[in-house]
């Protein structure tokens, strides 16, 4: 399964100390260079299962992404280019309906773990 992420999904789980949720669900998560740059501005390193994948040089933004940040716009473009099954943003966008159960499981587990004790 191909999973692409923007900055928000990964940085939120890193800050909360629950990045292991993604590792448990996915063998690897792919990010564009802009997302890697944004993450490394606030975190000293990235988890081993997060892999940077280049977006083709000179490729313009997709229509409708002009108001988004560079990381989010590149992640959407990369997800489309790789025909990703899932796109992790503030919420999980299911791009392949056969992967909907994994997305729902991630959301449930995230809510459970982030509940105050």
Would you list the domain boundaries of the chain? 3-114
Give the pLDDT confidence of 57-95 residue by residue, as tens digits: 666 666 666 667 777 888 888 888 898 888 887 654 444
The token duo for 57 is 């040089």
State the average pLDDT for the chain.
Answer: 78
Question: What's the 3-state SS for 5-63?
Answer: ECHHHHHHHHHHCCCHHHHHHCCCEEECHHHHHHHHCCCCCCCCCEEECCCCCCCCCCC
Q: Is the pLDDT of residue 109 over 70?
A: no
Q: Worst-scoring range by mean pLDDT, 28-32, 38-42, 60-64?
A: 60-64
Residue 106 pLDDT: 58
What is the model's pTM? 0.73
Instruction: Please report the sign of the dihedral spanned by the C-alpha atoms of residue 108, residue 114, residue 116, residue 117.
Output: positive
Q: Pick 94 or 37 by higher pLDDT.
A: 37
Per CATH, the number for 3-114 is 3.40.50
């Amino acid at each position: 399964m191909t999973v692409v992420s923007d900055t928000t999904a990964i940085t939120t789980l890193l800050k909360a100390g629950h990045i292991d949720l993604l590792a448990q669900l996915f063998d690897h998560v792919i990010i564009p260079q802009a997302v890697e740059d944004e993450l490394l501005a606030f975190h000293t390193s990235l988890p081993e299962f997060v892999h940077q994948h280049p977006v083709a040089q000179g490729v313009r933004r997709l229509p409708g992404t002009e108001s988004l940040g560079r990381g989010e716009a590149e992640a959407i473009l990369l997800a489309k280019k790789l025909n990703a099954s899932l796109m992790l943003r503030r919420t999980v966008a299911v791009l392949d309906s056969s992967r909907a159960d994994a997305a729902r499981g991630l959301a449930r587990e995230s809510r459970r773990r982030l509940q105050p004790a």
